[in-house]
Amino acid sequence: MERKSAAGNIRNKERSKKKFLDAVGKILRTKGYTALKVNSIAAAAGVDKKMIYSYFGGIDGLIDEYIESQDYWSKIMIEEIKPQVDDRGKSFMENTFFSQFDYIHSNKEAQKLLLWRLSESRRSLKKFTETQGKNGEYIFKLLIDFHFKNNAENVRAIMAIMTSGLYYLNMYAEINGSIFCGIDVSTTKGRDEIKKAVSFLLHHTCKNL
């Protein structure tokens, strides 16, 4: 009976932790990071706020654990990346850009997290960014440094502009209106135009550098 009770307690704890983490995501998605308070999180989770301190050591521990669970790049099996050698990694980079573009567009939590990273200095947010940077560096070395040699820095600069541009277009469309340079980024047609531009830039980058 004691073993069953212990197992039940563990399951209850994990369920309650998940409720808290889901509550953080819900509040972030609907109200923004400034609304992440102990009482509001506990109310959204439907769990006694004392458990935040018991399970996470406090609200900072809860928020940090939530942030660490949201890394997009950790959802990609970095070790299994096998880019096509004959196209200098173009197909892989294209698919990665498209995936990022669509992921941020469809995930309001990711959008709010991006805004949070730009608005506040926080240890876990810095760690989140550093982890993404390390995973990105793995890809850069595998693809860009290997294929472009002396032009690698130029290609990295192009990738930086394209990545930040795609992030910005999604954020702009969500917050200030969807029309940017005459393109409606919220529509399938508009997003396809952006993807065509990405393909165009990647094609000429891989061909000419």
Q: 95-122, pLDDT tens digit by residue?
A: 889 988 998 999 888 888 888 888 888 8
Residues 143 and 174 occupy one common structural domain = yes
Cα–Cα dist 190/195, whole Å: 9
Q: What is the CATH number of the domain that holds 61?
A: 1.10.10.60
Per-residue DSSP letters for 12-73? HHHHHHHHHHHHHHHHHHHT-GGG--HHHHHHHHTS-THHHHHHHSSHHHHHHHHHHTT-SG
Highest mean predicted confidence (pLDDT) among 29-33, 143-147, 195-199: 195-199
Largest CA distance in the chain: 70
On the question of pLDDT at 3 being above 80, the answer is no
Q: What residue type is assigned to position 157 of the chain?
A: A
Residue 200 CA from chain centroid, whole number: 25
Cα–Cα dist 62/27, whole Å: 13
* Domains contained in the chain, number: 2
Average pLDDT score over residue span 37-55:
95
Residues 135 and 40 occupy one common structural domain = no
Give the per-residue pLDDT at 143: 84
Give the residue numbers spanning the domain of 88.
Answer: 73-208
On the question of pLDDT at 45 being above 80, the answer is yes
Residues 121 and 24 occupy one common structural domain = no
Residues 32 and 130 occupy one common structural domain = no
Confidence of residue 1 (pLDDT cuts 50, 70, 90): very low
Give the per-residue pLDDT at 71: 67
Residues 31 and 58 occupy one common structural domain = yes
On the question of pLDDT at 78 being above 80, the answer is no
| Token pair of 148 as six digits | 């472009």
On the question of pLDDT at 2 being above 60, the answer is no
Confidence of residue 77 (pLDDT cuts 50, 70, 90): very low
H or E segment at 5?
A: helix 2-30
Residues 128 and 31 occupy one common structural domain = no
Residues 151 and 77 occupy one common structural domain = yes
Average pLDDT score over residue span 68-91:
66
Residues 53 and 137 occupy one common structural domain = no
Residues 93 and 154 occupy one common structural domain = yes
Q: Which of 65, 88, 119 is the last residue of a domain?
A: 65
Confidence of residue 9 (pLDDT cuts 50, 70, 90): low
